Structure 1
């Protein structure tokens, strides 16, 4: 049995872990390269991968007017 710390988390669980909304999680996957693994229709996450990505600045605020193509495609417009 996998240890609690090493198990795969759902998008809802990783959002709770980080204290952000699930919409933010999907935006980060699309536009900022958040480490996520798609299993069927579901996104799954490893806490250690996500924590390293956050520490490396992956979740930092983008500069004004610097919306990625992935975010534009996700939302259907430029922000």
Structure 2
């Protein structure tokens, strides 16, 4: 997800929720992307205007059932 809110500033904020990262770390973290980490198709529409762009990737992946429990990671699912 990328967002630019101020038409007078060229700042574009980019965040990612990566299920591979969640699986590897067992933590639901929103990653802050900078520089080359930011996909060009995500930020290009915001270079000349404000708004929000959402990019979905790897939609064929289904997370393990435990990850679908709201607010509960794998460790919490085993004890919940």
Tell whether the structures are fold-level matches, with TM greater than 0.5.
no
- Class of the TM-score when normalised by the shorter of the 2 chains: under 0.3
Question: Comparing both structures, which one devotes a greater share of its residues to strand?
Answer: 2
- Normalised to the residue count of structure 2, the TM-score between the two structures is 0.25
Structure with the higher helix share, 1 or 2: 1
